[in-house]
Amino acid sequence: MNAVDQMTPAQIEAEKQAILAGVPPQAEPGAAPAAPTMTEDQAQQIAEQNWLPVLSGALPMLAVSVFPQWQLQPAELDGFGKALAGCLEQLFPGGMGGRYACWFRLVAITGGIIVTRKLQHGELPGLGAAPVTDDEHAAAAV
């Protein structure tokens, strides 16, 4: 029997909450989560340092190419960028130099491809082999 099997539901819930809060695991299962090592303001400042340089070029481009009808203002983009930086720091700590930066790049590139195809064609292309056109049928018959 392992340590988790011996935990009460309350202890398991406490461990789950600690993990969701980003608190390192406790040495003793079910122990109360440790107090945060920094304030929310400090965490946000780190998030902005890690992510605003990346977002500063991407957000205005998205505002123009994807959301032109929203007419997003610089102050709105600034607030959105700071909020997004906080979220990204939770998911991908350390910014583009962090351990999970490859996953951020994968999601960002995939999103860029999808948005580009949608803008080019008005819809997303289908999956599978490309349909054969009448010209290709004619060329094959010759």
Average of pLDDT values for 63-88?
93
Are residues 30 and 58 both part of a single domain? Answer: no
Instruction: Give the integer Cα–Cα distance in Å for 108 and 111.
Output: 5
Q: Domain range for residue 17? A: 8-37
Average of pLDDT values for 62-72?
90
Q: How confident is the model at residue 23 (pLDDT cuts 50, 70, 90)?
A: low
Are residues 47 and 117 both part of a single domain? Answer: yes
Q: What is the tally of structural domains in the chain?
A: 2
Are residues 108 and 44 both part of a single domain? Answer: yes
Looking at the predicted structure, is the pLDDT value of residue 125 above 90? no
Give the pLDDT confidence score for residue 77 in this predicted structure. Answer: 95
Q: 87 and 44 in contact (C-beta within 8 Å)?
A: no
Q: Residue 26, by phi and psi: left (phi above 0), alpha (psi -120 to 50) or beta?
A: beta
Are residues 17 and 84 both part of a single domain? Answer: no
- Give a yes or no: residue 117 inside a domain: yes
Are residues 69 and 108 both part of a single domain? Answer: yes
Are residues 60 and 49 both part of a single domain? Answer: yes
Give the pLDDT confidence score for residue 25 in this predicted structure. Answer: 53
Are residues 48 and 115 both part of a single domain? Answer: yes
Give the pLDDT confidence score for residue 102 in this predicted structure. Answer: 94
Least reliable range by pLDDT among 63-67, 82-86, 96-100, 132-136: 132-136
Least reliable range by pLDDT among 22-31, 43-52, 86-95: 22-31
pTM, entire model: 0.61
